[in-house]
Structures are given as structure tokens and as C-alpha cells.
Amino acid sequence: MEQLYEEACKNGDIRGALAESFRFQKAFGRSSPDKLLTLDSTFRIASCSKLITSIAVMQCVEQGLVKLDEDVSPILHELKGIQILEGFNSVSGDPVLRRSDANITLRSGLGYDLFVPLLQQWRAYHHENVGIPASDFTRAYFLPLLFEPGQGWEYGPGIEWAGILIERLTGTNLQQYIQENIGEPLGLRNMTFHLEERPDIRQNLCHTSYRHAGGELDWTTEEILPDPIKESLGGVGIYSTALDYFAVLEAVLVGDERLLSGPATIDLLKPQLSSMSRQALNKIVQDLDRATGFGIPPGIEVDHSLAGIINVNSLDTGRRGGSVSWGGYPNLKWWVDRNAGLCGLYASQLHPPGDAKSVELYFRFQAEMYKRLHSTRGVEMGLGEQSYHS
């Protein structure tokens, strides 16, 4: 594996890589044109943020502050009476909307405009920009439902709204809540939503790269989120070192009760979809581009938990059926396999998402970790492997 990564850097397939597994640590390449990648490098973890906010939600459930299936619109009042967008009138061009008959719960029917053409059409109709706003998220990112909750599946901002729910339930901001209830118990010191408040984290921020259609890489100043940003966006907004994020993965792997009780961890990771939603998700992952973006090989049956996507079948890499995974926009991917006692992280800062070379390296890394796991009979539940790429 080490030779594979050395060659990938030499050939310009990736800018650099840092791998840690079985207490092996070695950095390859650079995090910027003039800086080496190190264990202290900061990553935009994007949608990897969702796992951390989902843990925070489950903590609120355990505290009795909210139930998974209760109507949250009295707290998230912006969503009260939200309508379902069915399409646009072919003659007038006006949106076709209908009333939702379901309660708005933590299992919403929202979608990201960035990935849903119907919502992009909605934005254009209202002369609005596509993408995450710098402020006023509840107003500027208010979008209609795409289906009745529980009757479909789409990649969307439900976790951002869940983060706002946490703030209103606890009377604090999400940054403070996560630091006090996840960061401090695990000893995390390099994780934030707000770089403007943490110059020590900002100074180690990796540059991003962009792969052109011909395969060549360029450094880029393109950012996923506005910086600075007003809100702490629980679905997309965290900056972190890979080491801090991996500590969260290990805690989930072993069921660390400093975060959640054993039953709550099981609830976090178990399948949650209705049959209609599961069918919709499996149809989406038949699209090769979206499947690879989710870190799922084609042809694998999937479900979804509160933490991430579930591969129902085992993978050729050795990852067991029932394991949970997710990722982040600039080609980050993580997995937790409690059946095998293994978790891993592949962290990159490469655009666009679903990069074929990054996906290949992620699966090669994953396969090597299972190979080493099986050849090391002394491995105990809780040993994790990491690889971080930039």
C-alpha cells in the first residue's frame, strides 16, 4: 500500500497522502504548494460533519429532549406547513405544490439544491442562488419537501435543521454543544465550525485541488462554504484534523459510553428506512456517479441509519454487511464495521466529489486494512485504521 501511495503522488494522481494504520504513520506529498501534509493538517470535512451532529441528536433523545418520530415543527417553526414540490406547470412555468399530510420529524423529505435539478429550477424561478448561504440559513435555505417524509429518499439538509433543533432545545449554539458533549469527553482540540475563531486551526488548513476532465490537477481557491459563516451548520460545516475525527469513529466503533449508551449507539447505526424510502435509495445508488460518491460499489444493496449509509451485503474489500459509512464533498470517506471491529477514514481535499481515482484509492486502502486485520490475530475490537489524503 505504501508503494501504491508513493506512486500516486509521483504520478500526480493525488497531491499527497498521510496514512495511519496498526500504529503505522507516514505522510506523502503536500497539503499546499509550499507545505507538507502532516498529522496536524486541517480538513474541510463537509458532510462528514453529519455523523457528529447525529451523535449530538441521539444525546438529546437520550436526555428526553426530543423523540425521533415526534413533530418538530413547533420548535422548528419555519417548517410548519411546508409544502411538497411536485414539479412545474408546463404552460405557466409556476411551481406545482401540494400540502404535506405528514408531521415534520427528524426524518425529513428535504433535498440539497446542489444535487437536485427540481430544486435548482425552484431557485431559478425565485431568482435565488444555489448553494449554502453565509448567513440566515433558516430563511435563505428554506426549500420545499420533495416527497412525504418516509415515502422517499434524497440527500438533503435534514441534519442542518437537526443542528438548529439542538440549539433551540439546549439554549446554546451547536459549536458549544458539540465541544462540551463530544469534544471534551474525547479530548478533541482541533475541531470547529468557525475558522475565524480558531486561527490555530486555520493556519493548518489544507489547500484544495481540482481534477480537470483530462485528469490533471490544479490547486484551487474554491471553497465549499462561505468563510466566515454565521451559523454552525451541522451537516456540512466542520473543520477538523483527521486525528480528531478518527477519534469519533473509534468511539462509535467501540460504543464509548462517554458519548452514547450502548442501546443508543445501536439505534444510531441500525437501519431506519421504510420500504418505500429504501427502494428510493437503492434506485439512487444504481447511478454509478452517485454510488461511488457515497462510497458504495455498484450492485450492493443498501439501507440507511441515522449515521450513514448501510451496505446490506459484504464488500469485496472485506467490509462486512451491516457496516455504516458516509463521506464529505472533497472526497472524504469513512466507515465503521462493528462486526469486524474495524473503522477507517480516507480524507482528501480534492474536487469534484466522487473522483474516480480517490474512490479507487479508498477501496484499495480499505481492502489492505482488512487484509492486515485478518493477518493479525491479536487485533481487538476497537483497533482502527486511518488514511488521510490531500
For residue 384, give the 3-state DSSP assignment: coil
Does any domain span residue 94?
Answer: no
What is the residue whose three cell numbers read 497522502? Answer: 17
Count of domains observed in the chain: 1
Q: Of how many residues is the chain composed?
A: 390
| Inter-residue contact 158 to 277 (CB < 8 Å) | no
Distance from C-alpha of 243 to C-alpha of 19, rounded to nearest angstrom: 11
Does any domain span residue 25?
Answer: yes
- Can you list the positions of beta strands (E) in 6-124? 16-21, 24-32, 35-36, 42-44, 83-88, 95-99
pLDDT computed for residue 241 by the predictor: 94
Sheet of strand 35-36, all strands in order from the earlier edge strand to the far edge: 35-36, 24-32, 16-21, 385-389, 342-347, 332-337, 323-328, 309-311, 302-304
CATH number reported for the structural domain that contains residue 188 in this entry: 3.40.710.10
| Inter-residue contact 222 to 351 (CB < 8 Å) | yes
Does any domain span residue 309?
Answer: yes
pLDDT computed for residue 9 by the predictor: 65
Question: What b/e sequence results for 4-41 when a residue is b if at least 16 CB atoms lie within 10 Å of its CB, and e otherwise?
Answer: ebeebbeeebbbbbbbbbeeeeebbbbbbeebebeeeb
pLDDT computed for residue 379 by the predictor: 40
Running DSSP on this structure, what letter comes out for residue 205? Answer: B
Distance from C-alpha of 366 to C-alpha of 3, rounded to nearest angstrom: 15
Does any domain span residue 69?
Answer: no
Question: Going residue by residue through the chain (390 aa), what tens digit of pLDDT does each one get?
Answer: 777 766 776 677 777 655 554 444 556 677 999 998 888 899 999 999 999 999 999 999 999 999 999 999 999 999 999 999 999 999 999 999 999 988 888 877 788 998 899 999 999 999 998 888 777 888 888 899 999 988 999 999 999 999 999 999 999 999 999 999 999 999 999 999 999 999 999 999 999 999 999 999 999 988 888 899 889 999 999 999 999 999 999 999 999 999 999 999 999 999 999 999 999 999 999 886 777 778 888 889 999 999 999 999 999 999 999 999 999 999 999 999 999 999 999 988 999 999 999 999 999 999 988 998 888 744 443 333 333 333
Does any domain span residue 327?
Answer: yes
pLDDT computed for residue 333 by the predictor: 93
Catalytic residue among 47, 54, 209, 325: 47
Closest Cα partner for 107 from 188, 143, 36, 161? 161
| Inter-residue contact 361 to 14 (CB < 8 Å) | yes
Start-end of H helices in 98-232: 117-125, 137-140, 158-170, 174-178, 184-186, 199-202
Give the H/E segment covering residue 373.
helix 356-375
Does any domain span residue 203?
Answer: yes
Single-letter residue type at 52 = I
Does any domain span residue 135?
Answer: no
Distance from C-alpha of 154 to C-alpha of 287, rounded to nearest angstrom: 13
The answer for residues whose C-beta is within 8 angstroms of residue 160's C-beta and 6 or more apart is: 137, 141, 233, 234, 235, 236
Closest Cα partner for 193 from 201, 182, 204, 184? 201
314 is catalytic: no
Question: Measured between alpha carbons, how far is residue 142 from residues 82, 90, 126, 127, 147 in Å?
Answer: 9, 24, 12, 14, 15
Does any domain span residue 137?
Answer: no
Q: Which domain holds residue 333?
A: 2-63+171-389
Q: Is 193 exposed, middle or buried (0-12, 13-18, 19+ CB in 10 A)?
A: buried
